[in-house]
Structure 1
Amino acid sequence: MNTVVIIIIAVTCIISYLALNDIRMFEKYKFNVGAIQQRKEYFRLLSAGFLHADFIHLALNMYVLYMFSPAILYAFGVSGFLIIYIASILLGNLFSLLIYKNQSWYSAIGASGGVAGIIFASVSLDPVNIKIGIIFLPPALSIPGYIFGLLYFGYSVYSMLKPRSHDNIGHAAHLGGAFFGLIYTIIVFPQIALSNILFLGIMSLPLIYLAYEVFIRKRIN
């Protein structure tokens, strides 16, 4: 595991812990549509990626980041890894800002946009052989990356569209982050990504459905 991944995980854990114990810090740095639009606090687009709703939310994101980062580091190097992770957080939150622009109260936190970008980029390179295990279960029960991605994005879409449910987790950011991870991989490795188009299509089904609900049915406005 590269040192940069350990540093990102450590920094995220420290900041998340501090914010969970300091409501003023949490409110100052979380993603909030009103604060960004009215007070031009654009730093929230990035800082929200280092905050989490609780320790389970934090542990899940950091575990997934840890599991999928080796493939990205091997293929893209440290600079490519940082580009995908940071840009996916930013683009994910920009997408949230776009679809929630009329809801000034909307707020969210989490590294999920960056993690989604890493997942999509990783699986774009090797959707079958990259696998992720379930804690406490034997390696033989690990599932292919594209199946995990399908379940991960499916849950995100469900949570985002569920009526009268708001858990402060940036589910909408998953779509923007995943989109950047995919596009960046296609630009850098077009032949590899396109050869895996079937698996990408399967993993993308929840994201396609989300796009339909947002842009066609206008369920979120």
Structure 2
Amino acid sequence: MSTTLIIIIVTCIISIPAFNNHTRMYAWMFNPYQVVHRKQFYRLITSGFLHADYVHLIFNMLTLYFFGDAVEFYFNQISSYGTILYVAFYLSAIVIADIPTLIKHKDNPNYNALGASGAVSAVVFSSILFNPMSDLCLYGILCLPGFIFGAIYIIYSYYQGKRQAGNINHDAHLFGALYGIVITVAIWPGVIPHFIDQLSTFSIF
């Protein structure tokens, strides 16, 4: 069984019972005020294993399933400690993706967030570095090469985060994506020339 599948199973085991357990949901979700002022640092991790509903959970876990195995494979090719690196990468991405939100809302007791989106974004962008020419599809209709999709995603997340649009933590998406890029390069600097070589094969026609 792959490490990615284990992460998905653990996330589902934690998320699903919490849908109807509001006490647990509130105790474990990301609340910057509680983290900073009451030192409840565990929320930085536990919030990444909670989701608002089945749609939120399924979307994140399907995305992780499709991209996680590839990233896990590459990490294992790069290092004999690939599995450990992959788990550390995923868990740290949950935390790092929320740091900007933590700073922004540290004095707002009413701000809450949850979900694995930041970590999943990190995995997706790590995958894009390894396979920039692989198509990523939006809702199974519009398919774009990974590097184009990634550029659009980062720009969109940045501007939506500035607008603070909707109930989505766009900052977590953005910084999760950037973290995925930085850590992948740190683990294997050779991914940069690999990425450039892959892009050299791109043609619009």
Report the TM-score range of the alignment, normalised by the length of the smaller protein.
0.7 to 0.9
What is the distance in 2 between the residues matched to 1:181 and 1:45? 17
**Contact 2:33/2:107 (CA < 8 Å) preserved in 1?**
no
Deviation, structure 1 residue 180 = 1.9
Shift of 1:83: 2.0
Task: Specify whether residues 119 and 175 from structure 1 end up closer, same or farther in structure 2 by C-alpha distance, changes over 3 A only.
Answer: same
1:22/1:131 Cα in 2 relative to 1: closer, same or farther (>3 Å)? same
CA–CA distance in structure 1, aligned partners of residues 19 and 155 of structure 2 = 27
When normalised by structure 2's length, the TM-score is: 0.80
Offset of 1:126 from its aligned partner? Answer: 2.1
Equivalent residue letter for 2:136: I
Aligned to 2:190, what secondary structure does the other structure show? helix
Q: Is the 8 A contact 2:157 2:174 kept in 1?
A: no
Q: Of 136, 148, 166, which aligns to 1:132?
A: 136
Q: What residue is the counterpart of 2:80 in the other structure?
A: none
Whether 1:149 aligns to 2:154 is: no
Aligned residue number for residue 124 of structure 2: 119
Q: Contact between 1:67 and 1:132, CA under 8 Å: does it hold in 2?
A: no
How far apart, CA to CA, are the structure 1 residues paired with 2:166 and 2:143? 31
- Structure 1 vs Structure 2 CA RMSD: 2.6
Residue 89 of structure 2 is matched in structure 1 by 84
- The corresponding residue for 2:3 is 4
Tell me, what secondary structure is at the counterpart of 1:132? strand
Verify the 8 A CA contact 2:4 2:69 in the aligned structure 1: no
Given the superposition, is the C-alpha separation of residues 152 and 14 from structure 1 closer, same or farther in structure 2, using an over 3 Å criterion? farther
Q: Is the counterpart of residue 40 in structure 1 residue 60 in structure 2? A: no
> 2:28 — aligned with what?
29
What residue in structure 2 maps to residue 207 of structure 1? none
How much does 1:12 deviate? 1.0
- Give the drift of 1:122: 1.3
Q: 1:101 to 1:66 in 2, by over 3 A?
A: same
Other-structure match for 1:193:
192
**Superposition pairs of residues 51-90 of structure 1, within 5 angstroms:** 51-77=50-76, 78-90=83-95
CA-CA distance at 1:3 after TM superposition: 2.2
User: Cα distance, 1:153 vs. partner?
Assistant: 4.2
Residues 33, 104 of structure 1: 8 Å contact kept: yes
TM-score after normalising by structure 1? 0.75
Residue identity over aligned pairs, in percent, reads 35
Q: Which amino acid aligns with 1:183?
A: V
Whole-angstrom distance in 2 between the partners of 1:132 and 1:166? 24
Q: 2:101 corresponds to which residue?
A: 96
Post-superposition Cα deviations, 1:155-204, rounded to whole Å, max 9, x if no partner, equal: 544554446x552x43322233222211111112223225536999xxxx
Does the aligned pair in 2 maintain the 1:125–1:193 contact within 8 Å? no
- Structure 1 range deviating more: 83-92 or 42-51: 83-92
Which deviates the most, 23-32 or 57-66? 57-66
